[in-house]
Structure 1
Amino acid sequence: MSIFSITLFGIHIAPSWYGLMYALGFLAGYFILRSRKILSETELESLIFFVFLGVLLGGRLGYVLFYNLPHYLAHPIEILYTWHGGMSFHGGVIGVVIAMILFTRIHKKSFLSISDHVTSILPIGLGLGRIGNYLNGELLGFANYTGPFAVEKNGISYFPSPLLEATLEGVILFGILYFLSKKKMFSGKIASSFLVWYGIFRFSIEFIRTPDVGLGYLTFGLTMGQILSIPMILIGTALYFYFKTSHKRDIHLYQK
């Protein structure tokens, strides 16, 4: 669903709510990281650029590989048609990890420290993104829902699962990571905790979301989102305890 639709000089412009929320998320992330004074202005702009590329390329390729590979093998040019929709959060995570590895090597920064800072504010972008999903009328829950905030689509009323996701993945996850940052810290604590809690919330919410078109329910009746969340939880848990035992020094998230 577009916010508005106009044509200027022969170019059709129709920004979506999801795209607007994405932009607001990056803008919020920029100002929050800037306020922490952990990077110079040039380094911060470089980080935002790398993360943006990681989200865009990783999210798109993740969707292609995980959700609709046969179609894109038959129509490879459509991989570039990002305006048609189709982004994978799990692919975006992989893309952002690669992006931060490149950034920290180029700028000679601590990968774990930067990861902790970036993941501590990711819930803001996630929450805004889910609100965008709701306004776009996508990624909806079960049908024939008649309660508050229901979404009408093709004459059917759906449960507003994006709003529940915005609450869990945005508000509550942000609160959890903020709480953890105030406790005894070690490098990688916030990043690994993010993987665990996001995976748990995403796995849970998938039970009430409409399964992905063309995939439906897969092994053991799980959705692709749930299948991808399982290794995310396991890897996050393993990394949490590894970092906890390997990094003895107490640190504060807001120190350089």
Structure 2
Amino acid sequence: MFLFATLAEATQYVNFHDLMGDNSAIAFSVFGLPIRWYALAYLAGIFVGYWYLTKLIDQPGSPMARRHADDMIFYAMLGIILGGRIGYVLFYNLESYIRDPAAVFRLWDGGMSLHGGVLGVLVAIWYVTRKEKLSFLRFCDYVACVVPFGLFFGRLANFVNGELWGRATTVPWAIIFPESGTMDPRHPSQLYEAGLEGIVMMAVLAWFFWRTDARYKPGFLFGMAAILYGVSRFVVEYFREPDVQRQWVVDMTGLSMGQWLTVPMLLAGIWLVATAKGRRKRVEPVAGSDSVA
């Protein structure tokens, strides 16, 4: 710790509070009501994601019509909020919520799991496709292409909030996060995740969608998204400070809870990609859509 403090002083690492201010979680206030960056990140992810989804479904062979995308936005929001909260409770902090069950409903106190949010969105997709008699996997393929936008804005919000910081380091771009409890310079792991889970993942999926016939192979884009996210999260976890509630997982296994939760994602993604070629490629027109293949 003394070494990190000495190097931080010599290198003049940026203090997070100097960079973002002392109340960085609040973007602005409207009539005295604080508007948080998290709320703006959710809205940005949803609106940009919806805009991009409409561009995708305008292409030949879409598995859904515009009205299905409209329905999906509502159910996806429910899935993200409910799934993210339930996932956080079950995966990361169950003991605390057993002691104080009412805290489960205090969303303003924070605590969301991305893996839980993904499960919530999958439930939403299952409901919409079952109700409308659409292809679950092909619907997932299109939704998977817009997910990186939400991940990108969400990770930026993590950084602005000064949370989910990285491990202590001496790299030149390290940042001091006082809320970590020390003045050690740390990896801005939130930005690493924004780059990998957001920009890189979006670019790769966009290339497969626009430059290949991947969208005609049910499950391919969905599986590729699971692989890209799984690899990105697994790697970044080595630079991210483990969740204090699950430090025992790292001590026992050498891997963080986040890494363990990505293993099923990776396996499912590999299976989906490997088997996508053998699935039926003929695409039926969707009722209410002009898209044909």
Q: Same fold (TM over 0.5)?
A: yes
Find the aligned partners of 2:202 and 2:140 in 1 and give their Cα distance. 15
Distance 2:152 2:30 in 1: 31
Aligned to 1:195: 226
- After superposition, give the CA deviation of every residue in 1:189-213 in whole Å (9 maximum; x if it has no partner): 1001111110011011001100002
Deviations 1:96-148 (A, max 9, x none): 11110001112222212211111011111111111111111111111254622
Higher RCO (CA < 8 A, seq sep 6+): 2
| Partner amino acid, structure 2, of 1:178 | A
Residue equivalent to 1:183: 212
Whose radius of gyration is greater, 1 or 2? Answer: 2
Cα RMSD of the aligned pairs, angstroms, is 2.3
| Equivalent residues in 2 for 1:1-256, closer than 5 Å | 1-4=24-27, 6=29, 8=31, 13-35=33-55, 36-37=57-58, 39-145=64-170, 147-148=172-173, 150-154=175-179, 155-181=183-209, 182-185=211-214, 186-218=217-249, 219-249=252-282
Give the paired residue count: 251
Q: How far apart in 2 are the matches of 1:19 and 1:7?
A: 13
d(CA) in 2 for partners of 1:116, 1:197 = 14
Task: Find the aligned partners of 2:45 and 2:30 in 1 and give their Cα distance.
Answer: 27
**1:208-256, Cα deviation, whole Å (9 max, x unpaired):** 10000221151421110000001110111112222222234489xxx56
Aligned equivalents of 1:46, 1:184: Cα separation in 2? 26
| Map of 2:9 onto structure 1 | none
Q: Structure 2 CA distance, aligned partners of 1:64 and 1:207?
A: 23
State, as a whole percentage, how many aligned pairs show the same letter.
37
Any unmatched runs of 5+ in structure 1? none
Q: State the alpha-carbon separation in 1 of the partners of residues 195 and 138 from structure 2.
A: 26
How far the C-alpha of 1:6 sits from its partner, in A, is 4.8
Unaligned runs of 5+ in 2: 1-23, 285-290
Q: TM-score, normalised by structure 2?
A: 0.79
Runs of 4+ residues over 6 Å off in structure 1 = none
Is 100-109 or 177-186 further displaced after alignment? Answer: 177-186
The question of whether the paired residues in 1 share the 8 Å contact of 2:220 and 2:273 is answered with yes
CA contact (8 A) 2:220 2:276 kept: yes
Give the Cα separation in 1 of the matches to 2:144 and 2:29: 36
Once the 2 structures are TM-superposed, how far is the Cα of residue 84 of structure 1 from its aligned partner?
A: 0.7
